[in-house]
Amino acid sequence: MSSLANEVGAINLSQGFPDFDAPEALRVAIGKCAMDGHNQYAPMAGLLRLREAVAGHVKRYRDIDVNPETEVTIVPGATEGIFCCVQAVVNPGDEVILFDPAYDSYEPAVDLAGGKAIRIPLAAPDFQIDWDRFERALGPKTRLVMINSPHNPCGSVLARSDLERLSVLADRYDFLVCSDEVYEHLVYDGLEHCSVLQIPGLRERSFAHFSFGKTYSVTGWKTGYCVAPQTLTAELRKVHQYVAFVAVTPVQHALADFMESHPDYPATLAVEYQRRRDLFLDALAESRFTWTPSKGSFFQLLDYSAITDAGDAELCLRWTKEAGVASIPLSPFYREAPESKVLRFCFAKRDGILLEAARRLCAI
Ligand SMILES: Cc1ncc(COP(=O)(O)O)c(C=O)c1O
């Protein structure tokens, strides 16, 4: 959708990346780190000073102690961390539970490991977990459960009570958890992100994945980290060693510099992104779309069922070309897409862009 948007000159609210720049101090830092000669391989698990900064971040925001040497691994993007985690623990024939819709990289990773992905639907409009249905899917073959909060594409958020429920079931059925928390700081309307790291029963059996790209507006730097107990981290690193081996060195130094000097920066994000969400939605008040405001992530779903019966994939292409706004259809995030008429819009964009996109959408 991004390349089509560029081709036809549409406003691109499709792919999930900010159109504003990263903090200046971070951009200055990467140039300086390259000029200072930090240009050769980092250690396989990541620079220790960045892992220490991550441990400080987890302590500050989740009040949890993690060991930077044995429990934190720096990876070239959360996607690689998630891939390595799945390859590390899923064996042929194992069952892996995913929720539908799901971020697109999960199921291919399970397939490659020889696992069987079982998808449980999240029901619109709140996209919450149906716990009875979930429990019915569990059994002796369940090896891994993959969760994502805040959720891409739905913008839903798991509450502490959800994670506590998951913890009870994880103990009963003895499965591991892969928790994708790349939007941990983007949670709105007074809600708080709860990490698996904060739930004692999950802390010991989970891989928690994060992305510097999302938190520091540097998606193109493709750098993230995984926090997991020592035994699980050791397994993840065995795969990471032969998939990517390391993340980029000057990027790691620059992130460490910035995290050390600006530890409060992530706490500023929710207010700013909520403002962007509200700006976009207020400007859509006169449109024929309907919505539930996103609770987290930088995605907003808009329901177009009052406008047309067309399928979402076809409509995305048509509105990119004819209305000049690119979005993403929801159906590719499902194995079996329901009848819903919903598109995903990224609101990590400058005010003028959001207002102009909304103006065009109101004209539909
Ligand atoms: C839910 C989710 N997980 C993971 C990622 C990928 O993160 P990274 O760019 O650090 O690989 C994304 C990016 O869009 C995402 O939305």
Mean pLDDT of 167-189: 98
Task: Name which residue sits closest to atom 7 of ligand 1, judged by CA.
Answer: 78
Question: According to the model, what pLDDT value does residue 125 have?
Answer: 83
181 pLDDT more than 90: yes
Determine contact, residues 325/332, Cβ cutoff 8 Å.
no
Mean pLDDT of 32-54: 98
If one counts every other C-beta atom within 10 angstroms of the C-beta of residue 140, the result is 8
CA distance 115 to 93: 5
Mean pLDDT of 340-354: 96
| Contacting residues for 329 by C-beta, under 8 A, at least 6 apart | 311, 312, 313, 315, 316, 343, 344
Q: How far is the CA of 214 from the centre of ligand 1 (A)?
A: 8
User: Does the C-beta of 222 come closer than 6 Å to ligand 1?
Assistant: yes
Confidence band for 134, pLDDT divided at 50, 70 and 90: very high
Q: How far is the CA of 63 from the centre of ligand 1 (A)?
A: 24
338 pLDDT more than 90: no
Confidence band for 40, pLDDT divided at 50, 70 and 90: very high
Report the candidate in 71, 271, 324, 309 with the shortest Cα–Cα distance to residue 62. Answer: 71
CA distance 289 to 200: 42
Helices (H), 187-291: 200-203, 212-215, 230-243, 249-261, 269-283
**Local structure of 42: helix, strand or coil:** coil
Neighbour-count burial of 158, counting CB atoms closer than 10 A to its CB (0-12 exposed, 13-18 middle, 19+ buried): buried
User: Does the C-beta of 213 come closer than 6 Å to ligand 1?
Assistant: yes
Question: Which two structure tokens, joined as six digits, stand for 274?
Answer: 């909520």
Question: According to the model, what pLDDT value does residue 304 have?
Answer: 97
CA distance 328 to 26: 30
Determine contact, residues 153/15, Cβ cutoff 8 Å.
no
Mean pLDDT of 310-325: 95
Average of per-residue pLDDT values in the chain: 97
User: Does the C-beta of 181 come closer than 6 Å to ligand 1?
Assistant: no
339 pLDDT more than 90: no
Please give the number of the atom of ligand 1 that sits closest to the Cα of 219.
Answer: 9
User: Does the C-beta of 206 come closer than 6 Å to ligand 1?
Assistant: no
Task: Name which residue sits closest to atom 16 of ligand 1, judged by CA.
Answer: 152
Question: According to the model, what pLDDT value does residue 337 have?
Answer: 86
Question: According to the model, what pLDDT value does residue 276 have?
Answer: 98
| Phi, psi angle pair for 230, to nearest 5° | -55, -45
Determine contact, residues 216/183, Cβ cutoff 8 Å.
no
Q: How far is the CA of 147 from the centre of ligand 1 (A)?
A: 13
CA 70 to chain centre: 24
124 pLDDT more than 90: no
Question: According to the model, what pLDDT value does residue 308 have?
Answer: 96
Question: According to the model, what pLDDT value does residue 3 have?
Answer: 94
Determine contact, residues 45/39, Cβ cutoff 8 Å.
no
Determine contact, residues 177/166, Cβ cutoff 8 Å.
yes
Question: Which two structure tokens, joined as six digits, stand for 26?
Answer: 């971070």
43 pLDDT more than 90: yes
Mean pLDDT of 264-283: 98
336 pLDDT more than 90: no
Mean pLDDT of 176-205: 98
- Beta-sheet pairing, 142-148 with 342-346: unpaired
- The whole-model pTM stands at 0.97
For 195-234, what is each residue's pLDDT tens digit?
A: 999 999 999 999 999 999 999 999 999 999 999 999 999 9
If one counts every other C-beta atom within 10 angstroms of the C-beta of residue 332, the result is 12
Question: Which two structure tokens, joined as six digits, stand for 45?
Answer: 């698990």
- Which amino acid, 133? R
